Amino acid sequence: MAGKGYDVRNSSVRLKPENQRRMEEKRVSEKVIQRILSIKITWASAVVVLIGKDTHARPWVNWEIDKANEQGKRIIGVYARGGTEADIPPSLEKYGSAIVGWNTKSIMAAIDGTNEFQQPNGTPRVPPTSASSYTC
């Protein structure tokens, strides 16, 4: 994708074994974790959130989505294989720009600005944040 003008990076936090142990022992402050995650979000113009089993319950996922929204980032949910609508984090339902199936064309369109909302199988779904309009 670099040849098409995209700079795609995996910004997952990868820890050395000693740091992983410190995390598990709860010896790393929330402020440090927030700083690391904020740095990883800042460089991106779009943040892609993989929606898989129990994504909605994972620590830090909603915080990352909220931070991306605060920074004005485009937030795209992509159903991983086996991901369901029940796995969508609440913040993604609230701030998502698009939620699409695992399909290159849909993912690229979402990154490029198409606000499409799909079910896991790629069929259309009602956007979760769409406001109803009424005529008086």
Q: What is the pLDDT of residues 66-83, one digit of tens each?
A: 999 999 999 999 999 889
Q: Indicate the average pLDDT of the chain.
A: 84
Strands 46-51 and 74-79: parallel
- The mean pLDDT of 57-61, rounded to a whole number, is 85
CB 103 within 8 A of CB 122: yes
pTM comes to 0.80
Residue 1: band (very low, low, confident or very high) from pLDDT cuts 50, 70, 90: low
- The answer, yes or no, to whether residue 115 has pLDDT greater than 50, is yes
pLDDT of amino acid 3: 55
- The answer, yes or no, to whether residue 88 has pLDDT greater than 60, is yes
How far is 120 from 32, CA to CA, in rounded Å?
34
Give the CATH class of 45-112: alpha beta
Better-scored residue on pLDDT, 135 or 29: 29
Complete edge-to-edge strand list for the sheet that includes strand 46-51: 46-51, 74-79, 98-100
Of the chain, the percentage scoring pLDDT greater than 90 comes to 46
Residue 4: band (very low, low, confident or very high) from pLDDT cuts 50, 70, 90: low
